[in-house]
Amino acid sequence: MDDLSRQLFEKACALIPGGVNSPVRACHNVDSLPLFIAEAHGCRLTDVDGREYIDFVLSWGPMILGHDEASVTAALREAAGRGTSYGAPCPDEVALAAEVVAAMPGLEMVRMVNSGTEATMSALRLARGVTKRHKLLKFIGCYHGHADPFLAAAGSGVATFSLPGTPGVPPAVVADTLLAPYNDLDAVKECFARHGADIAAVIVEPVAANMGLVLPKPGFLEGLRALADQYGSLLIFDEVITGFRAAFGGAQARFNIDPDLTTFGKIIGGGLPVGAFGGKRRFMEHVAPQGEVYQAGTLSGNPLAMAAGLATLRRLKTLDYDALEARTRAFAEALRDILRAKGVPVQMPTLASMFCPFFSEEPVTDFVQAQACDQKLFTSFYKQMRAQGIYLAPSGFETGMVSFAHSDEDFNRALDAARKVLF
Ligand code: PLP
């Protein structure tokens, strides 16, 4: 079992650090080896050994339509026949920009990039350029990609592997990164009271999805908006996960908050490498070549990536997010009840099509509580689910994802697997 995956992983380890091209894929934190995937359709993955899995990772978020969705695959095939990169503008860039700006209440202009990391680092540069200030306030356990200024108390893989966060990052770079606990408005107030005149931006995952899934307390996001206004700092919503997932209009539509800048990734590219940053015209017009803040990319606005993103958003516009949310909640609650009936302490927050098993007696509202969850129980749950063909995120610091391709039968198979888990 796992023969080809194991062989490939051994070969990969000699060639690629840790055998993977992104750390959380490695799975050693959950005492497992990565699966090498041969193909994916709908919500099913097939590994190189021919085993099928119901996928609740969805490439860490992008595949909200499921894999190989007909309209996206057709758009890609069609685009591939027209050449793969021009280094000059193409019509789909304008069409995708129009879709994103129309969907997101906080956006008047947008610039396409190639990843979420590029989006956040560019948004920060813009905020610093516009405000002529240097400091950044971020939240402990939030993840904003792997650019230097964000690698302080970061979630996701940094949390999964308990990395100190900043080797290779000059201390001077993170010296300007201020930290506060997520959901702690008093700490944010204190930080602004001390440093407000120097804070270029506060960046937040409006729903924290890189320390497990932690929902914003009522008033938290509103409080950030008010403090940023009071001190003349920019509020950046990192919607790399929540964009087109928390609602079609992102967390900003869902919670009715108007950020100054927003960053995107994942869903916006329909499974191809796309990110974007956007916001109010008065800020975005400072981006080169209209303005003085430099930002560029050889493959930005790539025609294949734009075609996949455009097809994805156009399809999503026709689908019922409320229904998917209700189905996700029913599934997550059933999963929680099955685990609790086994005497296991578990919390199961959900939002939209995300869910997260926290093995904890108490609800989790910040990173310290997320870290206190029972990782041994998580590992045991993960391994037994995977052995039964249920593919979950291999870390307690990630969120589960549901797609429009998951059927009731898929949910039921996952619930049946959970019933068989022994703790
Ligand atoms: N921001 C958030 C909220 C993310 O979850 C991620 C990646 O998971 C990023 C930024 C970085 O995106 P990418 O991995 O595309 O660079």
Pairing between β-strand 261-264 and β-strand 234-238 as defined by DSSP bridges: parallel
pLDDT tens digit string along 260-310? 999 999 999 999 999 999 999 999 999 999 999 999 999 999 999 999 999
CATH T-level topology, domain 70-316:
Aspartate Aminotransferase; domain 2 (3.40.640)
| 398 Cβ closer than 6 Å to some ligand 1 atom | no
Q: Which of 176, 184, 238, 374 is catalytic?
A: 238
What is the average per-residue pLDDT within 344-351? 98
Average pLDDT value over all residues in the chain = 96
Q: Delimit the domains of the chain by residue range.
A: 3-68+320-419, 70-316
What secondary structure letter does DSSP report for 150? G
| Cα(343) to centroid(ligand 1), Å | 35
What is the average per-residue pLDDT within 238-267? 98
pLDDT tens digit string along 320-336? 999 999 999 999 999 99
| DSSP SS3 for 181 | strand
3-68+320-419 maps to which CATH number? 3.90.1150.10
| Ligand 1 atom, smallest distance to 120 CA | 10
Amino acid identity of residue 309, one-letter, is G
Task: Tell me the C-alpha to C-alpha distance, in Å, between residue 154 and each of 28, 32, 406.
Answer: 19, 23, 31
Alpha helices in 232-302 (DSSP H): 250-255, 281-284
Q: Which of 122, 139, 163, 164 is nearest to 24 (CA)?
A: 163
Share of the chain above pLDDT 70, in %: 98
Q: Is the pLDDT of residue 389 over 60?
A: yes
Residue nearest to atom 10 of ligand 1 (CA): 144
- The position carrying tokens 């689910």 is 385
pLDDT tens digit string along 27-79? 999 999 999 999 999 999 999 999 999 999 999 999 999 999 999 999 999 99
Q: What is the rounded distance in angstroms from the CA atom of residue 149 to the CA atom of residue 169?
A: 8
Strands (E), 248-289: 261-264, 275-279
| 55 Cβ closer than 6 Å to some ligand 1 atom | no
Using CB atoms within 10 Å of the CB of residue 53, give its burial: 0 to 12 exposed, 13 to 18 middle, 19+ buried: buried
| 239 Cβ closer than 6 Å to some ligand 1 atom | no
Q: Which of 53, 135, 143, 391 is catalytic?
A: 143
What is the average per-residue pLDDT within 334-345? 98
Q: What is the rounded distance in angstroms from the CA atom of residue 236 to the CA atom of residue 263?
A: 7
Q: Do the Cβ atoms of 331 and 418 come closer than 8 Å?
A: no
| 238 Cβ closer than 6 Å to some ligand 1 atom | yes
Residue 222 has a CB neighbour count (10 Å cut-off) of: 14
What secondary structure letter does DSSP report for 261? E
What is the average per-residue pLDDT within 91-99? 98
Annotated catalytic, 238? yes
Task: Tell me the C-alpha to C-alpha distance, in Å, between residue 276 and each of 124, 190, 284.
Answer: 13, 31, 12
Q: Is the pLDDT of residue 89 over 80?
A: yes
Annotated catalytic, 143? yes
pLDDT tens digit string along 181-203? 999 999 999 999 999 999 999 99
Q: Do the Cβ atoms of 412 and 376 come closer than 8 Å?
A: no
| Cα(12) to centroid(ligand 1), Å | 24
Q: Which of 182, 260, 266, 366 is catalytic?
A: 266
Q: What is the rounded distance in angstroms from the CA atom of residue 394 to the CA atom of residue 381?
A: 10
- Helical packing angle, 375-387 and 408-419, nearest 10°: 120
**Cβ neighbours of residue 41 under 8 Å, at least 6 residues apart?**
66, 67, 68
pLDDT at position 201: 98
pLDDT at position 244: 98
